[in-house]
A = this chain, B = another copy of it.
Amino acid sequence: MSKPPAKPSTRKIHASPEEAEAAFYDAFERCDLAAMMAIWVSDKHAVCIHPGGPRLAGFEAIRASWSEIFAGGPGFKMKVSEVRAMTGQTLAIRTVYETLIPDNGEPPPAPILATNIFALTPAGWRIALHHASSSPPGTVAEEQGTGRVLH
């Protein structure tokens, strides 16, 4: 039996915050825990706040939360829209609306507002903070035309 590789093949180097964010939502849509955690900074500074949830600090607490969220498996498309970005030398801040569109044709739940912060590390851009919260119905429609759709 061969040993598993030291680093999973999902551990890509992202050259920009945009690329890291696209990988984040791709992993989210696929409910791929390895791919999701490959995008996070791997230290105690990482912070993740799911809608209505407590602050999760550090890689392991964040990993456990995504493991729970992904337990049901995929079944939706993730639409990310109305991106607003501020980009510094080593930190980038993006606020987006997340809309989960169920594959079974059911209507999507109310969009989630997320603040995503990316940090430039020796291994490229990684997500360092994700703060998500529910938003009132209709707010994406109100903002239409002010942002752009990622995928």
Contacts and interface: CB of A to CB of B under 8 A. Distances in A.
Contact of A86 (B128, B142, B146): B128
Interface residues of A, number: 35
Contacts of A49: 95, 113, 115, 133
Given A93-B91, A93-B117, A115-B49, A135 B55 contact: yes
A101 B73 CA distance: 42
A52 interface: yes
* Copies, count: 2
Interface in A3-58: 45, 47, 49, 51-55, 57
Listed residue (A51, A115, A135) with the most chain B CB atoms within 10 angstroms of its CB: A115
A119 interface: yes
A84 B55 CA distance: 10
A88 interface: yes
Contact of A91 (B55, B86, B139): B86
Nearest to A128: B86
Interface of A: 45, 47, 49, 51-55, 57, 82, 84, 86, 88-91, 93, 95, 97, 113, 115, 117, 119, 128-129, 131-136, 139, 142-143, 146
A-B complex: 9 closest residue pairs judged by Cβ atoms: A133-B133, A54-B139, A88-B91, A91-B91, A115-B131, A88-B90, A131-B131, A47-B95, A45-B86
